[in-house]
Amino acid sequence: MTSHGGRRTQAERDAITVEIGYALCSAAFAAAVVFGVVAGPALLFDLPDTAERLLAYAALVLAPVLFAARVVSVLVRFRTADQPSQPGRTSPDS
């Protein structure tokens, strides 16, 4: 936000808070969907024990990894987004 080390404005703090909330909610949703897709067949169908365990373990590993990756990618993208240099302008050349 401010590159010179000054204090952040209330608008900047609000934007960071909203972005963190979005990152957490979208990551939780994506992790839940992946967990359901991977573990769903093991819960719905009568599969061999090995296949059920393998799907359950795969879902338990993939969901948290996806959650963390989604949170990091959203927050990094927010931090590196090009901000206009002047309010109301879309780029420094405008």
3-state secondary structure 40-92: HHHHHCCCCHHHHHHHHHHHHHHHHHHHHHHHHHHHHHHHHCCCCCCCCCCCC
**Does residue 84 register a pLDDT over 70?**
no
pLDDT attached to residue 19: 93
Q: How far apart are CA 50 and CA 34, in angstroms?
A: 20
Cβ contact 20:34 at 8 Å: no
31-45 pLDDT, tens digit each? 999 999 999 998 899
Cβ neighbours around 93 below 10 Å, total: 6
Residue 4 DSSP class: T
62-72 pLDDT, tens digit each? 999 999 999 99
**Does residue 88 register a pLDDT over 80?**
no
